[in-house]
Amino acid sequence: MPSARASQASPIAAARTPWLRHYPPGVDWHQSFEARPLWDLIDEAASRYGDRPCANFLGRTHSFAEIARLVDRAAAGLQRLGITKGSRVGLLLPNSPTYIIYYFGILKAGGTVVNFNPLYTVEELSQQIADSGAELIVTLDLKLIFDKVEALLASGALPRAVVASFPALLPAAKSVLFRLIKGRDLARVTSSPVKDRIIADATVLDNDGTFTPTAINPLEDVAVLQYTGGTTGTPKGAMLTHANVYINVQQSRAWLHGVEPGRERILGALPFFHVFAMQAVMNFAIATASEIIIMPRFVLNDAMAIITRTKPTMMPGVPTMFIAMLNHPKLASYDLSSLKFCLSGGAPLLLETRRKFAALGGCKLIEAYGLSETSPAVTINPLDGPVKEMSIGQPIPATIVSLRDPSNPATEVPLGEKGEICIMGPQVMKGYWQRPAETAAQMTPDGYLRTGDIATMDEEGFIFIVDRIKDLIICSGYNVYPRNIEEAISSHPAVDEVIVIGITDSYRGEAPKAFIKLRQGTAASEDDIRAHLEPKLSRIEMPSEIEFRDQLPKTLIGKLSKKELKEEEAQRTRAK
């Protein structure tokens, strides 16, 4: 197999690498990584740890060998449906074994996985299906999700769908109870008006697992299209190659060298469709033959009970999850002692949260930093040794972080000064799907990825984020784009002007707030605006506050200005 990004050898050799003066013992930043097809993760785990549990879903466990066999059957079934090299296939799924099976099945069939957020509206999904060219979506028969797929099929936005049974994923007794007690939560798929465009998961998997192997160039062929707003708020598909994703898992393994293959359990409460969970939970667990204790979604009481009962040793999460756990009124009644370390990402981690979590029983809560465009891991705090307060850590092996002058990204700023985080490494995306101009704009002249995040770096290579160039709001670890919210609000007939900014939220980190100027002679209440937004925005995008104003601030040339509103909100926060 080819080595990863050999073309980057010269810039890496010439880079400034202050982190090497204080790199974690046992971690080699200079190590090289082999570029391999991403499905090698599941094949290797099954060959070495076939009898070990892979997926534990609400009490039903599948071994690595069982999951690998289902992956092969999914690949064969998808190929019979016409999926070939380069086909884009969407996953619109909550966390479940179905996600794992079809994720790797799509890859083995030669296709590209397109991660879709089940919380998105039909309109948002339609736009991403059209952009990606997804010809098939895999989903479950849960009514909340299937109704969206049915609408997409009916409108012609989506050609076909594979639908799996949710009750079939459960242990026998739970399956019967679910149908009896929560039957109303299931869609009537066989009586759907678009049933002619629906293929049952059982039909796809009804084969002996013999598929036609696909020749893959790991460095060039795209494994995952991961949609992100980047710095503009316009959703774009980050093209993550097999090498990008596979190597980023190996980089994380090299950093977290204390993990024991075949002996760990990872709590999978983060959504797999998010790049953080896709890598830090699912792919990392499979690469280390760890059991994934799968939660369809994070529910605090359920999570605490599951940790107490199943004894996971690792838990990736976002800060809001750890805050909720710390604030649980019956925290002392749960046993969290099995957790050796927790990885926090997706949003800034408060120092107080890290300290309190460590005091629970010695579990280390370490912060990491990454982006969809970097598959995603870039920096992680050391697992062993001191962690510097408010730092996102040091670059992981084979990764360069260079702080550049935002107005002249070809120029690196001196240590200790503020600069834009720019990244080079084997995990950096191939580019944005069908957007060469935007890809070029995201890169520095010498080939580093620009992030829009402003940081400082100390003499030991620890990085501290101090500001953002972009208007992106990170709410509970999810990217929320003000432009999307502004457009939805602007479509209300009474709205004249609107500005959306991120405000500090003690639980979610940040939350969107809308400032609205109404058209003269019209009226609208906060309830009217929220009712208008209900079908247009997901819950995470819904403004936490709406404020009506007679005028909104503008620049000298008449452009709506967010600067003044951000300063006002910052003053309010400081005054509290």
Domain-located, residue 324: no
Domain-located, residue 507: yes
- H/E stretch holding 147 reads helix 143-155
338 near 291, Cβ under 8 Å? no
Domain tally for the chain? 2
Confidence bin at 558 (pLDDT 50/70/90): low
Q: pLDDT for 363-388, tens place per residue?
A: 889 999 999 999 999 999 998 877 78
Instruction: Classify strands 400-405 and 408-412 as parallel, antiparallel or unpaired.
Output: antiparallel
Q: Flag the least confident range among 144-158, 296-310, 462-476.
A: 462-476
Task: Identify the residue with better confidence: 362 or 184.
Answer: 184
Mean pLDDT of 471-485: 83
What is the C-alpha to C-alpha distance for residues 490 and 497, in angstroms, rounded to an integer? 7
Q: In what order do the strands lie in the sheet with 431-432?
A: 198-200, 161-164, 136-140, 88-91, 112-115, 222-228, 236-241, 431-432
Q: In what order do the strands lie in the sheet with 449-457?
A: 408-412, 400-405, 419-424, 449-457, 463-468
Mean pLDDT of 316-323: 89
Q: pLDDT for 19-69, tens place per residue?
A: 999 999 999 999 999 999 999 999 999 999 999 999 999 999 999 999 999
319 near 347, Cβ under 8 Å? yes
Mean pLDDT of 545-573: 84
Looking at residue 347, its pLDDT comes to 74
Closest-CA residue to 397 (of 288, 201, 212, 253): 253
Looking at residue 390, its pLDDT comes to 82
Q: pLDDT for 335-356, tens place per residue?
A: 999 999 999 987 777 777 888 8
Q: Which domain holds residue 193?
A: 58-215
What is the C-alpha to C-alpha distance for residues 188 and 196, in angstroms, rounded to an integer? 14
Per-residue 3-state assignment (H helix, E strand, C coil) for 514-556: EEEEECCCCCCCHHHHHHHHCCCCCHHHCCCEEEECCCCCECC
Q: Which residue has the tokens 């639980």?
A: 507
End-of-domain residue from the set 153, 188, 215: 215
What is the C-alpha to C-alpha distance for residues 375 and 476, in angstroms, rounded to an integer? 19
What is the C-alpha to C-alpha distance for residues 539 and 555, in angstroms, rounded to an integer? 31
A 10 A CB-CB count for 250 gives 23
Mean pLDDT of 305-309: 97
Domain-located, residue 502: yes
What is the C-alpha to C-alpha distance for residues 166 and 168, in angstroms, rounded to an integer? 5
Whichever domain contains 500, its CATH number is: 3.30.300.30
Domain-located, residue 481: yes
Whichever domain contains 87, its CATH number is: 3.40.50.980
Domain-located, residue 399: no
What is the C-alpha to C-alpha distance for residues 431 and 329, in angstroms, rounded to an integer? 46
What is the C-alpha to C-alpha distance for residues 298 and 106, in angstroms, rounded to an integer? 26
End-of-domain residue from the set 151, 186, 215: 215
Q: Model's pTM, two decimal places?
A: 0.86
Ranges of beta strands (E only) in 171-259 are 198-200, 222-228, 236-241
Q: Is 525 exposed, middle or buried (0-12, 13-18, 19+ CB in 10 A)?
A: exposed
End-of-domain residue from the set 215, 237, 266: 215
Domain-located, residue 437: no
Q: How many helices (H) and strands (E) does the chain have?
A: 18, 27
168: tokens are 């079939």
Domain-located, residue 5: no
Burial code (b: 16+ CB inside 10 Å, e: under 16) for 389-423 equals: eebbbbbbbbbbbbbbebeebeebbeeeeebbbbb
Q: Flag the least confident range among 105-109, 172-176, 233-237, 444-448.
A: 233-237
pLDDT(8) > 70: no
